[in-house]
């Protein structure tokens, strides 16, 4: 292995450590607790080393969001592929989405609430974000209904899921009815 390859590998390891540490700190204490000073202390590197990877917290949030998008896409595909039939696939997808948001609140915030400097719904949208949307579209396209654009239907269904996730987490919806809400959403929106 050349010196350059070793340096690139070490850089990638440091970058993964920064992202993992930011994510862990945000999940435990919230995003306000994630500062470059605190991250530098936790990973035992200087702030200049941290800044050599990310220009600041915004880029770190973006990196966490991209990692989360990849994980969400995988969770959605796994849930949908394990179900049999369109209704079961869409219900499994909805539950997997809501479960992901509940289990990973700081990551979900990085993906959809905080400014991570990422473009959505644009040509320059990063591949992991496009893939997370594609994971929704793959299942929802089959239940959009005749004459309904699958992408638009997916956006509407996603917006409903996001609303449920956000309102549930904020304590604006009564606890314990997540599965019933997901089933009602499938019943009323999906053409099965």
The predicted pLDDT at position 40 comes to: 93
What three-state secondary structure class fits 82?
A: coil
Mean pLDDT, contiguous 10-residue spans, the chain (192 residues)? 87 94 97 95 91 94 98 98 95 97 97 96 96 98 95 97 95 89 90 78
Burial profile 35-52: b = 16 or more Cβ within 10 angstroms, e = fewer: ebeebbeebebeeeebee
The predicted pLDDT at position 178 comes to: 86
The predicted pLDDT at position 3 comes to: 86
The predicted pLDDT at position 63 comes to: 98
pTM comes to: 0.93
């Amino acid at each position: 292995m050349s010196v350059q390859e070793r340096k690139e590998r070490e850089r990638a390891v440091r970058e993964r450590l920064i992202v993992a540490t930011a994510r862990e700190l945000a999940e435990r204490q919230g995003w306000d607790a994630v500062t470059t000073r605190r991250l530098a202390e936790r990973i035992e590197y200087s702030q200049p080393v941290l800044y050599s990877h990310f220009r600041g917290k915004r880029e770190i949030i973006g990196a966490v969001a991209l990692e989360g998008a990849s994980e969400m896409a995988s969770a959605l595909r796994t849930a949908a592929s394990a179900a049999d039939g369109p209704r079961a696939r869409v219900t499994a997808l909805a539950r997997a989405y809501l479960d992901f948001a509940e289990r990973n609140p700081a990551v979900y915030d990085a993906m959809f609430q905080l400014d991570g400097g990422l473009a959505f719904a644009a040509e320059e949208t990063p591949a992991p974000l496009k893939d997370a949307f594609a994971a929704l579209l793959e299942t929802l396209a089959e239940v959009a209904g005749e004459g309904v654009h699958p992408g638009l239907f997916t956006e509407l269904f996603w917006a409903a899921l996001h609303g449920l996730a956000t309102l549930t987490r904020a304590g604006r919806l009564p606890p314990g009815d997540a599965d019933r809400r997901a089933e009602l959403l499938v019943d009323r929106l999906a053409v099965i």
